[in-house]
Amino acid sequence: MNGYRDLRVALLGCGSVGAQTARLILEHGDELAARIGARLSLAGIAVRDVDAKRDVELPRELFTTDAERLVQGADIVVELMGGIEPARGLILQALQGGADVVTANKALIAAHGPELSDAAEQVGAQLSYEAAVAAAIPILRPLRESLAGDHVTRVLGIVNGSTNYILDRMDRFGDSAEDAMRVASELGYLEADPTLDVEGYDAAQKATILASIAFHTEVPVDSVYREGIANITAAQVEAAKSAGYVIKLLAIAERLTSSDGVDGVSARVYPALIRRDHPLAAVYGGKNAVFVEAEAAGELMFYGAGAGGAETASAVLGDLVSAARRHVIGGPGIPGSLHAELPILPVGEVTTAYQIMLEVHDRPGVLAAIAGLLAEHGVSAASVEQTVAPGSDGEGRAALVIGTHQAREADLAATVDALRASEEVLAVTSVLRLEGRA
Amino acid sequence: MNGYRDLRVALLGCGSVGAQTARLILEHGDELAARIGARLSLAGIAVRDVDAKRDVELPRELFTTDAERLVQGADIVVELMGGIEPARGLILQALQGGADVVTANKALIAAHGPELSDAAEQVGAQLSYEAAVAAAIPILRPLRESLAGDHVTRVLGIVNGSTNYILDRMDRFGDSAEDAMRVASELGYLEADPTLDVEGYDAAQKATILASIAFHTEVPVDSVYREGIANITAAQVEAAKSAGYVIKLLAIAERLTSSDGVDGVSARVYPALIRRDHPLAAVYGGKNAVFVEAEAAGELMFYGAGAGGAETASAVLGDLVSAARRHVIGGPGIPGSLHAELPILPVGEVTTAYQIMLEVHDRPGVLAAIAGLLAEHGVSAASVEQTVAPGSDGEGRAALVIGTHQAREADLAATVDALRASEEVLAVTSVLRLEGRA
């Protein structure tokens, strides 16, 4: 189509991330081709057992158990199997064959990142692994590229959603450690072996990767100092709370000068107190965030989902598009070109919820009249709250706060005009839109 | 040095961002060369009046008033003059000459982005402007590259620090609109013409840029619906607060289907209610943040400084390094290679503040003994609070919460050992590090 040439993509693994990645490649094919200037052709999906993937809604003919053969002749290999072997061997095979590689495999990168990076560098191939840290959150690319002219001094990451969920429950609902852990387990937030999360092993792998990218230095995972959250008590959480802090499990990478003057790097994981007004304190539930301090840029934070099939696949696709573009330099689909050209819609078409504040006569029938007026214009009230109007002195005036359901801006504007004209209404004192809900 | 070839960088403008950009290029020369694989050679800095830059600490011979001549022969042009002309003409000249261009000029990109992008595309040059939106925060690159395989559905940005500062004062300190505005003005947070901030013109320029990048569509700045914060009252802020909301001025770019089924884009700026537990609600003072909703990635947020010379220069340098790398593909200094190789320091070298909780005998001399013990190990107490120990029933036990100043981990560990061994101490109930402070 459109004369685009094909780039052969080999997908290794078809768990939740793999299946979502395949789906995005197939469903967004035309759009990706326009952005890349070449078509991503899914050459196959290597799995251990094809029958086990019977329920996955992907074309059957894509599945194969012969990963090695699939890797041969691929332009880009996407490794989403997890674990060390055979992932490591297949990635080396791909790189040695000149293919670019995208992986989400944090354990592998934490253990063998330098070996794999060297292999890529030797043949001029690209190895990228944005999805290995904090899933959907773009953090490695900003650290590597956006801050390439700056000096990163410290990285503080909430990079394990399970432990953040547990600590958040203890903080917000007063759960005991045991209760919070049980709920997290029931919701499937904990790995099969919960010590990977709770003892900070998972966070340590991410600390290794963050430190190596932030400081251009090989940081072995066994050099990461590690304390988990197993010993954090409800009493500690409560004491932190009353002192204006919250306890978060942090993966920390830091430039440091030792007591005898050696300039070096520290990577560590432990639960720490964070002030309530620090941006990391507002990272609730299973979310992830990485807070970066740099000499010139100051404080930055990157926030989002740290797990999930689709979320992780989004980061994999970002790396995949970037790798694919390297094959098409100078071709069509130059990054940032305006290929969609959608129409600009007027604000009247916007749909959002509203909060309207009114001053009204405090007499029977007012509420009914106003509710009727809203309904007439297709605006539905979600809540109505009546308070005494400021300065009313009980003289028959009341203040109403109306929260609406989602409504069209044009309908709302007509409603507000009608409210202003209504005999029941003394004044429309505030109209504000409500944003930030899904 | 090291056989790197030179890339000629022409800098246009030497205000606070320009001076910081020049400083970083000169001071980080070796490091940048290693990252790029070529040396950034600052060919000159074009200014209107060389004498006016007498106090800027940069080599005098770099300054010139002949911008056109400086642009000729440059490999990369960095435009930090601001305003439309002569910036636009010089950028077009640079692009037509085949140079890559980096700019922080939001007014120019909002007004002439498509024209300049087209000019760049025609000659295969790169035009980048990360610093034009939210200064130090990497947002355009993540939108363009990290989310290249995803569908962005909505972008909500706090992209004007001055108005966020004003609204934040009204929310947190109960300031009137006039008082908050006066303080912002006294602190130099407002532009010379405050209507650019207060009426949302500045935010509208950024909404244009965000919408065009998120949706690959040309969004003229005069198509952006715009309401400022001039009419926001203390009463509205107070009412929002008591209802669990905070008012923020948002720049919004959204994919939208109109009531008659047209798929399009909306870009708008207005003050809106945000729930207190939304990540944007925790963006205080003059900070900026951009919240992104994407189909696969879910919710992401990018947070940081939205203004400042060094902060903006960090983003300029990121673009500059990226442009420079295009000149050196295949050369040394491949992105992500480990060229620093700093030593990994043990956790004992880490310096941080601590909170130590103790159960002690409630008798005279205990505090003095414990303070002495801390001092002995080089740990200095910042605060000591005494409470009744839980379950003590007044039987002569007290609980102490000690906050320390910055201390070395090794000293702290020795202190805790000594506390455990002390006769005064019944139990060390909690030792937590305090992170997230500068």
- DSSP class per residue in B263-300: EEEEEEEEEEEEETTSGGGG--TTEEEEEEEETTTEEE
**Helix (H/G/I), strand (E/B), else coil: B17:** helix
Which residue is it, tokens 């920390």? A252
Tell me the residue type at A197: D
Compute the nearest-CA separation of B284 from chain A (Å).
9
Q: Alpha-carbon distance A64 to A46, whole Å? A: 5
Half-sphere exposure of A209 (CA within 13 A, CB side): 29
Query: Do the Cβ atoms of B146 and A315 come within 8 Å?
Result: yes
Contact across the interface for A434 and B318, Cβ inside 8 Å: no
B217 contacts A342? CB cut-off 8 A: yes
| Strand duo A351-361 + A397-404: pairing | antiparallel
Q: Each residue of B329-388: pLDDT tens digit?
A: 643 334 445 566 778 888 888 888 998 999 999 888 888 899 999 999 999 999 888 876
Is A430 within 8 Å of chain B by CB?
Answer: yes
**What DSSP letter does each residue of A242-277 carry, written as one string?**
HTTEEEEEEEEEEEEE-TTS-EEEEEEEEEEEEETT
For the stretch B284-343, pLDDT in tens is 999 999 999 999 999 999 999 999 999 999 999 999 999 999 888 643 334 445 566 778
User: A336 and B148: CB-CB below 8 Å?
Assistant: no
Return the HEC string of A100-151.
Answer: EEEECCHHHHHHHHHHHHHHHHHHCCCEECHHHCCCCCCCHHHHHHHCCCCC
Are B333 and B34 contacting, i.e. CB atoms less than 8 angstroms apart?
yes
- Contact between A419 and A354 under an 8 Å Cβ cutoff? The reply is no
Calpha distance A39→A202 (Å, rounded): 36
Are B90 and B68 spatial neighbours (Cβ–Cβ below 8 Å)?
yes
Q: How far is CA A320 from CA A81, A103, B87, in A?
A: 16, 9, 36
Q: Nearest Cα to B224, choosing from A394, A345, A89, A378?
A: A345
Q: What is the DSSP string of A173-187?
A: H---HHHHHHHHHHT
Contact of A294 with chain B, judged by CB distance below 8 Å, is answered with yes
- Looking at residue B334, what is its pLDDT? 43
* Residue B206: active-site member: yes
Q: Which residue has the tokens 């209107």?
A: B48
A116 in a known ligand binding site: no
For residue A328, the 8-state DSSP code is T
Half-sphere exposure of A102 (CA within 13 A, CB side): 27
Burial class (CB in 10 A: 0-12, 13-18, 19+), B172: middle
A275 interface with B at CB cutoff 8 Å = yes
Residue with tokens 């819609």: A345
Whether A342 and chain B come into contact, CB under 8 Å, resolves to: yes
The segments of chain B whose pLDDT lies below 50 read: 1, 330-336, 438
Each residue's pLDDT tens digit in chain A (438 positions)?
A: 457 899 999 999 999 999 999 999 999 999 899 889 899 999 999 999 999 988 889 999 999 999 999 999 899 999 999 999 999 999 999 999 999 999 999 999 999 999 999 999 999 899 999 999 999 999 999 999 999 999 999 999 999 999 999 999 999 999 999 999 999 999 888 878 899 999 999 999 999 999 999 998 999 999 999 999 999 999 999 989 988 999 999 999 999 888 888 889 999 999 999 999 899 999 999 999 999 999 999 999 999 999 999 999 999 999 999 999 988 864 333 444 556 677 888 888 888 899 999 999 988 888 889 999 999 999 999 988 887 655 555 568 899 999 999 999 999 999 999 999 999 999 999 999 888 764
The shortest C-alpha distance from A122 to chain B (Å) reads 10
Chain B closest CA to A270's CA: distance in Å?
A: 8
For chain A, domains (ranges, CATH) are: 6-132+311-326 (3.40.50.720), 140-305 (3.30.360.10), 347-434 (3.30.70.260)
Q: What is the pLDDT of residue B339?
A: 60
* Amino acid symbol at B334: I
- The interface pTM score, or ipTM, of the predicted complex is 0.91
